[in-house]
Structure 1
Amino acid sequence: MPRAVREQQMMDAAVQTFGQRGYRAASMDEIAELAGVSKPLVYLYLNSKEELFTACIKREAKALVAAVRSGVEPGLPADRQLWDGLRAFFTHTAENPDGWAVLHRQARTHGEPFATEVMVMRDEIVAFVTGLIGTAAREAHHDPALPDRDVAGLAQALVGAAESLAGWANDTPGVSAREAAATLMNFAWAGLENLMRGRPWLPPNKSAGQR
């Protein structure tokens, strides 16, 4: 079997084990047994448990970003692009629950260097969503009506909500990727659409004695 194929086979086993057992509880013996290889071969190909876990994070992050990007067709209306992106995100996380568990739960809770790898992925998705929201706002107003800071904040909020909802959807029997995407779309788009049309919600004026 070619080395690249064997490595992917071992990483598939590692993602399943890390995702279901957790990084600390997972053992190289379990991973080797699930992959159908000897433990020395796992070490030969992937050096250490830490390096194996890092490789899994990088692979799963790359696949998630690619899924979101490929799910969005440029040139469509803003709400359709957002819907397609959310549906691609939730479809991928639903079809790869162990990979999502590695990214969302395991990597973030075990410090460096794992958390940094996840932040690289998250920053790329936030940048992509920022571009979608910014483009939609400019098209709606025919000028850059929303400040860059506001657009960036909206993207951070939307991505954070999607991450939390994906974890809930994967843990809740019967929740489909389409349902999860529709839930977030209904939650987010009503506000975003008003922003696109120049009707933002504004906090009440400060009254005497209030801060």
Structure 2
Amino acid sequence: MSAVKGARTKRMPRAVREQQMMDAAVRTFGQLGYRAASMDEIAELAGVSKPLVYLYLNSKEELFTACIRREAQRLTEAVQAAIQPGLTADRQMWAGLEAFFRHTQENPDGWSVLHRQARTHGEPFAAEVARMREEIAAFVTVLIGAAARQGVPPAPGATGSNRSAELADRDVEGLAQALVGAAESLAGWANEAGGISAKEAAGLLMNFAWTGLGGLMHGERWSPR
């Protein structure tokens, strides 16, 4: 009787158990890689049996896909939650970048799953990351579009026309894609290099992107001479 009661006290809600397994899987995949990670290691780290892992998620591929989706959702939500609608466009972009770099630094295993593992093991994993990237790029497109409508102040010491230049929709979308790609690469570099805070990384990219956007909005264009 006491053994039955003890067994019952150890039972956990399905959602909690799944959370444990997902946390263990993200850590294992992030540190060892998809191919090297084993379901035995994940089960041991989660404190559950291997059959239980397969009961919740049918295969290693499904488990990895679930990890990608969860980490992608968490990153996207972190960026979106940091941006307050009432802020100016530059403050919104700064808040989003800082949140992005903070999240990737505080969740290195999750970022490794998204940035390194998922992209290097083909479909369907790469497609999951691509969906996340497009969602963030669409969000950044809106921010750059808002900046274009508000008008961007010229960079200190900038020369050229002070006339605001309207950016085409295609240019705005292209700039958003470039900014997202730069943020991803910078996050990977910052995590590997170490000692670089989220504010420093965000400031580096903000200076690079916002100053350039300011020049574009004031009619400045680079051309080969």
TM-score range, shorter chain: over 0.9
Alignment match of 1:95 (pick from 102, 106, 126) = 106
| Equivalent residue, structure 2, for 1:192 | 213
Please list the CA deviations of residues 33-67 of structure 1 after superposition, one character each: whole Å capped at 9, or x if unmatched: 00000100000011110000000000000000000
Out of 168, 177, 189, the position equivalent to 2:189 is 168
Question: Conserved in 2, the CA contact under 8 Å of 1:14 and 1:56?
Answer: yes
**Residue number in structure 1 paired with 2:125:** 114
TM-score normalized by the length of structure 1: 0.93
- Structure 1 residue runs of 5 or longer lacking an equivalent are 206-211
2:90 is aligned with what amino acid? Answer: D
- Say whether residues 1:201 and 2:221 are aligned partners: yes
After superposition, the Cα gap between the structure-2 partners of 1:203 and 1:188, relative to the gap in structure 1 and judged at 3 Å, is same
Report the alpha carbon displacement of residue 144 of structure 1 after superposing the two structures with TM. Answer: 8.9
Q: How far is 1:172 from its partner?
A: 1.3
1:116-151: CA deviation from partner (whole Å, max 9, x where unpaired): 00000000000000000011102228x992101100
The gaps in structure 2 that reach 5 residues or longer are: 1-11, 153-163
Contact 1:138 1:144 in 2 (8 A): no
Q: If you compute each CA radius of gyration, which structure gives the higher value, 1 or 2?
A: 2
CA distance in 1, matches of 2:64, 2:54: 12
Q: Post-superposition shift, 1:74? A: 1.2
Q: What one-letter code is carried by the residue in structure 2 that aligns with 1:102?
A: V
Select 2:29's aligned residue among 18, 24, 27: 18
What is the distance in 2 between the residues matched to 1:187 and 1:137?
A: 17
Determine if contact 2:165/2:219 at 8 Å carries over to the other structure.
no
Contact 1:93 1:99 in 2 (8 A): yes
CA distance in 1, matches of 2:101, 2:199: 7
Choose which of 199, 202, 224 in structure 2 pairs with 1:178. 199
Q: Determine the C-alpha separation between the residues in 2 that align with 1:164 and 1:154.
A: 15
For 2:167, what is the secondary structure of its paired residue? coil
Q: Tell me the TM-score normalized by structure 2.
A: 0.87
Query: Structure 1: which amino acid aligns with 2:101?
Result: F
* Distance apart, 1:115 and its partner CA: 0.4
Secondary structure at 2:151 match in 1:
helix
1:34-49 matches, within 5 Å, as 34-49=45-60
Q: How many residues are paired up?
A: 203
What's the CA shift string for 1:177-197, capped at 9, x where partnerless? 11111111111111012223x
